[in-house]
Amino acid sequence: MTEYGKQLAAASTPIPGLVVWELPVHGDSRGWFKENWQREKMTAAGLPDFGPVQNNISFNDAVGTTRGIHAEPWDKFVSVAAGRIFGAWVDLREGPTFGAVFTCELDPSRAIFVPRGVGNAYQTLEPDTAYAYLVNDHWSPDASYTFLNLADETAAIAWPIPLDRAELSAKDAAHPRLADVTPVPPRKTLVLGANGQLGRALRAELGDAPHLEYATRADLDLASPALAGARRWRDYDTIINAAAHTAVDGAETPEGRREAWAANVTGVGVLAQIAAANAITLVHVSSDYVFDGTIDRPYREDDAVCPVGVYGQTKAAGDALVSAVPRHFIIRTSWVIGDGKNFVRTMAYLAERGIDPRVVDDQTGRLTFTSDLARGIHHLLTSDAPFGTYNLTGSGAAASWADIARRVFELTGHDPSRVTGVSTDEYFASATAAVAPRPRNSVLDLAKIGGAGFAATDQDDALSAYTRALAAE
């Protein structure tokens, strides 16, 4: 019997993400009225903002009509428009709760949110029952479905009307037992730029589970007009964009400018559209070059961007596009050091071969090792950190490039006084090719990411470990 006058309230279940909702129903002698789906109130009360795109209704004229157990690749908000049902839900997702069962009755005053991969079934308890559900994806012949037999002995669902007296389809009666069900994998994570320094660090950090996909430019080109249709994007939970045009000086040339805007803006814009349309979390790696480096304190996330070179302009434009995605992390970093050719490796090489370098001493910042950057991204994705922009660099005292070069010489057993400091203008005075302007101050404030529970590695500790690893090669 429908209960009138309840307050909107949510109750968790033994199945993670499966939540029962008590709905306010207002009735009198004429009938009743309810807000079956109210985004603002329900999201404020804890319902995921799951973005429904389709509303389906199943009408059942006979008591005992039984349907399920179906796990579709989308989330559902299930309610009853008329009548009453006994509902049964079985967790068919990969993980420790695989096979967990929850049952309850639903009527117009009670609904349930069913996350992707949880098997859904019901049995009508009254005639002329209408069962409605909102889903956040359109039906597709390419979608993958998982099923469980209604009579599975492991789930042992206590159907009010025994199945041998119930009305069910031959197809539902023939579904496999739990022992033969392949668990539903999590939605995929896609890492773009898999062959780059950060891409390789992300693979080392995240691993190679089946739901993790690593793509190079040859696999998925951000500048390709076919990007929007390149995947069934509803199967993805997260995209980590570690791909970018990073040739800072090259971006100052006509050809480089076009390439930088294509990869860092046009392609990122398409990614942003894909993420927004498919409830995907978009992680985008940005740069200290979005600032001009003229303020005399560390840059905060809310400081106005002010890029002075083409590369910085494209990164700032990409940030603006990503910031419109409901589920986004923009990671601003600086002075990235990873596997492959980089400043630290070059200084160690010069020290070993007796070459005394001239190194810029009027640009200040902190090194960011790709292992730390990957670790920070992983932390944000797994810690329920609020979406938004985060600075992520090494911690500790800021230093100039010349300071770091001297420290590399020292750590590798060479005389740091062999490094001569010069100004940026002096260093590039004889350059014959295009040179991009550099921020003099690249120090980023780390208070926000620290408040999210991430402790960045001290840059000197990381530098010491890195030079030891170089020596062992």
On whether the CB atoms of residues 100 and 70 are closer than 8 A, the answer is: no
For residues 296 and 440, what is the distance between their CA atoms, to the nearest angstrom?
10
Residue 122, classed as helix, strand or coil, is strand
| Residue 70 annotated to the active site | yes
The region, left, alpha or beta by phi > 0 then psi within -120 to 50, assigned to residue 319 is alpha
Question: Out of 4, 70, 211, 378, which one is annotated catalytic?
Answer: 70
Q: What per-residue string of b and e applies to 390-411 under the rule 16 or more CB within 10 Å gives b? A: bbbbbbbebbbbbbbbbbbbbb
Q: Cα dist. 29→6, 32, 109, 358 in Å? A: 18, 8, 17, 89
Question: How many CB atoms within 10 Å of residue 302?
Answer: 9
Whether a cis peptide bond, with omega within 30° of 0, leads into 239 is no
Distance CA 225, CA 324 (A): 21
Active-site annotation holder among 122, 133, 390, 427: 133
Q: How far apart are CA 388 and CA 88, in angstroms?
A: 38
Q: Does the CA dihedral 106-108-110-111 come out positive or negative? A: positive
User: CA angle at residue 178 from 158 to 188, to 5 degrees?
Assistant: 120
Q: Are residues 71 and 15 in contact, defined by beta-carbon separation less than 8 angstroms?
A: no
Helix (H) or strand (E) holding 171: helix 170-173
C-beta atoms surrounding 343 within 10 Å: 16
3-state SS, residue 448: helix
Which residues are known to be catalytic? 70, 133
